[in-house]
Structure 1
């Protein structure tokens, strides 16, 4: 965590609810916020939706999403740092997959919610 991120978290801590029987502790709430921020970009949402059906290489994501390779790689780095995806090397390529299905459900539910309102 960078000094700026730590400062933001320290500033946010007093605003967090006190843990109770139904409220997780502040560390869990901060981690959940970090996870949701990692999922907050449209390209990252599209990547998660692609990876929920099957693992993909960068070039497959580039073709499916019609964005540049550097942009896909940048977003994959964010998702990987947040623990959303992992990459497994296969020869010269890295195949990306979701760490678990809970994350796909979050994204699918968010998209479904927005589509219901339109």
Structure 2
């Protein structure tokens, strides 16, 4: 990565995403969705976030365009709307969550 070639016009978008991920509940949600799409019940089990808080945070992430949804039968599945987020979460995992790092 060449830091001298930064496009500063894109900084507001990066700041917006980083602000959203600065919330621990939202970061947990995005982390579990980096691997696959999940419904609310599955996200609740994996993140241990209570239903009211989870619904609130999912709404925020969806409103900001971080998440998209897909209705399958009676369930709504959430997934990351931008593949770049999968890369970002992968980097964060490598740096801070991978015990072999």
Structure with higher RCO (Cα < 8 A, 6+ apart)? 2
Residue correspondences, number: 96
* Contact persistence 1:86–1:99 (CA under 8 A): yes
Aligned residue number for residue 72 of structure 1: 54
The 3 A distance-change label for structure 1 pair 41 and 108 is: farther
Pick the aligned partner of 2:67 from 72, 85, 105: 85
Q: CA deviation at 1:93?
A: 2.3
Q: CA deviation at 1:92?
A: 3.1
The 3 A distance-change label for structure 1 pair 115 and 71 is: same
CA RMSD, 1 decimal: 2.2
Aligned residue number for residue 7 of structure 2: 24
- Structure ID, larger Rg: 1
TM-score (norm 1): 0.68
Query: What stretches of structure 2 of length at least 5 have no aligned partner?
Result: none
Counterpart Cα distance in 2 of 1:76 and 1:96: 9
Alignment map for 1:29-108 (pairs within 5 Å):
29-108=11-90
Q: CA deviation at 1:63?
A: 1.3
